[in-house]
Amino acid sequence: MKTNLKTNLIKKKYSAEARAHVLKAFAHPARLTMVEALMEGSRCVCELQELVGSDMSTISRHLSVLRNAGVVIGEKRGTQIHYRLTCSCIADFLVCVNQLCFDRLENEAARMRGFRG
């Protein structure tokens, strides 16, 4: 039943476009890196820049993508703007992505072994 509820929620309540939009926000190495940092607590833009290493304007653009998708939210603290995640479920979410990566590597490794021996 639980799964059914979930499935229902997923399938009926919001459009695929809306969900794809959110997913797209995560789907960039720099943005993902920032999100992962934010999983540990809020960070100001300058910290995120240092972490990612791109131009400040690029960082800001990425943050606006995340903001628009409702993934992060920023608030002033003195002279800086500190960003944080809007939702704690994001961590679990990324664990699954990681699982997929892992499986993919495993499969590739297995295929390699197959080719050689």
Instruction: Closer to a second copy by CB, 33 or 80: give it.
Output: 33
Interface with a second copy: number of residues (CB under 8 A): 51
Roughly what angle, to the nearest 10 degrees, separates helices 56-68 and 16-26? 150
Interface with DNA: number of residues (CB under 7 A): 26
Binding-site partner at residue 10 among DNA, a second copy, none, CB < 5 to 8 Å by type: a second copy
Q: Applying CB under 7 A, which of residues 10, 18, 46, 97 lies at the interface with DNA?
A: 46
**What is the footprint of DNA within residues 77-96 (CB under 7 A)?**
78-81
Instruction: Closer to a second copy by CB, 57 or 88: give it.
Output: 88
Return the half-sphere exposure (C-beta side, CA atoms, 13 A cut-off) of residue 92.
3
- CA distance linking residue 51 with residue 29, whole number of Å: 12
- CA distance linking residue 34 with residue 45, whole number of Å: 10
Give the angle 23-89-12 at the CA atoms, nearest 5°. 60
**What is the footprint of a second copy within residues 9-48 (CB under 8 A)?**
9-11, 13-20, 22-24, 26-33, 36, 39-40
